[in-house]
Chains A and B, each alone.
Chain A
Amino acid sequence: MHSSTRASATLDWRRFRRDYLPLVGVVVVSVFVLLAIFAPFIAADPTQIEMRREQDGQTLTPPFPPNPRNLFGTDQLGRDIFARVVFGLRTSLIVGIVVRGLSMVAGTLLGLVSGFFPRAVDNVIMRLTDIMLAFPVILLAMTVTAALGPGLATVCVALILVAWPDVARLVRGQVLSIREQTYVEAARSVGAGSSRILLRHILPNCMGPIIVAFSMGIPGAIMYEAGLSFFGFGIQPPTPSLGSIISDGRGYITVAPWYPGFPGLVLTLLVLSINLIGDGLIDVLNPRAAEGAGNQQSSI
């Protein structure tokens, strides 16, 4: 699978490292996905309130620290944090995949059009990306959700709105270099139309960077959702979200550090694992795709 032809012992080690870390990522993400899918069968009811608990003859009040029944402890109402986190993972994964998927579709379409059609169309689309990229991402996303009313759907809309320009630019760049290739000229000379050339010749050859950009962009979407929800601009209760759990736990941080702690750790682990998969994909598919593909990452 490796395109590198340089033979040196040091690079071999790099290959090794690069080969097992993505696997770790795949395993962790798979576990999270399974947890999210089978959440109702694995976790307790995340809305179950428990205001007192008898233990060793003492009456305890929540938040309860981690114990065999509550792996991650409970919140101030005695609700199981593990259960809340597992259901929050559902939201994170749905947002990550929906937002990244749709922004990839929108960005790819606009990028294809921009790179292939006349200057005027290209100019309009590129100036639009200029405008969107100049926005401070988090402020734009917050303004959009504030304007449309916060919630799962508007969070997705806001995040797609901020994510497509990077994709459009990446795809446009690919198209610009591919359209000069001999095989495109050959296709055109035998009479293939624009749409056929775009979809059958150019698009398949952009797939490497597109797949990398898809996987590298998911962590960004997940983190922005959590961030928006943390600040109250995102997912609203009763829909669970890791960001809102952390936000709820903020006030209990000294008495119950597990409350905001565990949701954040899970979020970090999820993002880290997807990033590891992305790094692996870059190695396998196209090393140059790293540029521009990871732009969504880590500003929140």
Chain B
Amino acid sequence: MLNYILRRILLFIPILIGLVTVLFALLNILPGDPARMMAGPFADPDAVETIREQMGFDRPLHVQYLDNIWNLARGQFGRSYQSRRPILSDLIEVFPKTVQLAVAAELISALLGIWLGVVAATRRNGWADRLIMVIAALNLSFPLFWLALMLQILFAVMLRWLPPSGYGGGFDSFIILPAVTLALPSMGLLARIARAALIEITSEDYIRTARAKGLAAALITRRHMLPNALIPIVTVIGTDFVRLLGGTPIIEVIFSWPGLGKYAYDALVFRDLPALQASVLLLALCVSLVTLLVDLLYAFINPRIRYA
């Protein structure tokens, strides 16, 4: 077990090196000169040259690449071209905000999604079930950026119930719109999974037994069905969290949420290689860790899975 975890964590290293390599290659074919970007549009050529030398942009690519890997291996992320601050302190500032957003969204989608799934499954055939499944399918089909725009206009501009964008320090009125937007597609997915899992369990013998001995329907749902259905649901929540992290850049940009996704987007727009690289690595590391946790959880729940 421990061996397996260690091996999986060691596998992160080639993945991260691969990410750096792909990014480095892409960013070096990006049009635009980082030295000129840093110097600003009105700098004279000498100043641009000085920056080029200072930053080492004049060195051969393979030297820059190896230097880059070596710095990352020592935990030196460098300075952002844009903010001129050490990237590590930037990341420490933006990362918790993305975690706040993602956790809030996952909570909303998990609670609402499972509840809707239970309602749909227990009222199978009924209009509530139909309605919930239509809503779930619809939620899975919304383009996230458009949904964000529409919710923003409805609740912030027209109804004036919520602030349109920005960051208010955490779990306050500012987080509601971005978190709900991010949560809606996941909620649809979880409602479907929860419903399917509950329906699957309905045909189990122990449910028939519980029913035969006269237990109330609500009690059967709560005590017998839900705990068993939670097994597939919990693993889906894990993979869903990964999907949700992937959606954060879009939501953060539209709602001006100063998290990791917006940081990475701004870095890309500004051709800020070290900042983009560090934030993509951090996002990827989160994704890899959550995936590992999900796999472990899955093996823990279902001992038939072998560690191959």
Give residues in A with beta carbon < 8 Å to B: 6, 8, 10, 13, 17, 127-128, 130-131, 133-140, 142-144, 146-149, 219, 223, 226-227, 230-231, 243, 246, 250, 253-254, 257, 260-261, 264, 267-269, 271-272, 275-276, 279, 297-300
- From the candidates B125, B144, B253, name the one contacting A10 in the complex (CB within 8 A): B125
Which A residues lie within 8 Å of B81 (CB)?
Answer: none
* Smallest CB gap from A269: residue in B: B141
CA distance in complex: A227, B146 (Å): 9
Asked if B10 CB lies within 8 Å of chain A CBs, one says: no
- From the candidates B15, B146, B283, name the one contacting A264 in the complex (CB within 8 A): B146
The minimal Cβ–Cβ distance linking B307 to chain A, given in whole angstroms, is 16
Please state if B149 and A268 are interface contacts (CB–CB under 8 Å).
no
Please state if B149 and A260 are interface contacts (CB–CB under 8 Å).
yes
Which A residues lie within 8 Å of B143 (CB)?
Answer: 223, 226-227, 243, 264, 267-268, 271, 300
- From the candidates B16, B153, B189, B280, name the one contacting A136 in the complex (CB within 8 A): B280
The minimal Cβ–Cβ distance linking B197 to chain A, given in whole angstroms, is 13
- From the candidates A127, A223, A226, A267, name the one contacting B18 in the complex (CB within 8 A): A127
Asked if B138 CB lies within 8 Å of chain A CBs, one says: yes
Which A residues lie within 8 Å of B137 (CB)?
Answer: 272, 275-276, 279
Please state if A268 and B141 are interface contacts (CB–CB under 8 Å).
yes
CA distance in complex: A137, B284 (Å): 10
Interface window among B34-42, B51-59, B209-217, B240-248 = B240-248
CA distance in complex: A138, B253 (Å): 12
Contact with A along B247-271 (1 / 0, CB 8 A): 1011001000000010011001000
Contact with A along B103-131 (1 / 0, CB 8 A): 00000000000000000000011000010
- From the candidates A13, A142, A268, A299, name the one contacting B138 in the complex (CB within 8 A): A268
Which B residues lie within 8 Å of A10 (CB)?
Answer: 124-125, 199, 202
- From the candidates B26, B124, B144, name the one contacting A147 in the complex (CB within 8 A): B26
Chain B interface size, as a band, is 35 or more
CA distance in complex: A125, B95 (Å): 31
User: Restricting to B157-212, which residues have a CB under 8 Å from any CB of A?
Assistant: 157, 185, 189, 199, 202-203
* Smallest CB gap from A276: residue in B: B137
A-B CB pair tally, cutoff 8 Å: 150
Contact with A along B16-30 (1 / 0, CB 8 A): 101100110011011
The minimal Cβ–Cβ distance linking B256 to chain A, given in whole angstroms, is 14
Main secondary structure of the interface of A (DSSP, over half): helix
Given contacts A147-B26, A231-B253, A268-B138, contact A135 B19 (CB under 8 A): yes
Asked if B303 CB lies within 8 Å of chain A CBs, one says: no
Please state if B26 and A149 are interface contacts (CB–CB under 8 Å).
no
Please state if A138 and B30 are interface contacts (CB–CB under 8 Å).
no
The minimal Cβ–Cβ distance linking A288 to chain B, given in whole angstroms, is 13
Please state if B283 and A230 are interface contacts (CB–CB under 8 Å).
no
Which A residues lie within 8 Å of B130 (CB)?
Answer: 17
Pull 24 A–B residue pairs with CB atoms less than 8 Å apart, ordered by A. A8-B203, A10-B125, A127-B15, A131-B18, A134-B284, A135-B19, A136-B245, A139-B264, A147-B29, A149-B31, A223-B143, A226-B146, A227-B143, A231-B253, A231-B265, A243-B145, A246-B146, A253-B153, A254-B157, A276-B137, A297-B140, A299-B246, A300-B143, A300-B145
CA distance in complex: A13, B138 (Å): 21
Which A residues lie within 8 Å of B287 (CB)?
Answer: 133-134, 136
Given contacts A260-B146, A300-B247, contact A272 B185 (CB under 8 A): no
Given contacts A17-B130, A227-B250, A298-B140, contact A136 B264 (CB under 8 A): yes
Further pairs besides A142-B268, A300-B145: 18, Cβ < 8 Å? A13-B125, A130-B11, A134-B15, A135-B280, A135-B284, A138-B247, A139-B261, A139-B264, A139-B268, A149-B31, A261-B150, A264-B149, A267-B146, A272-B138, A298-B140, A298-B189, A300-B143, A300-B247
Asked if B288 CB lies within 8 Å of chain A CBs, one says: yes
Most chain A C-beta atoms within 10 Å of own C-beta, residue among B16, B138, B146: B146
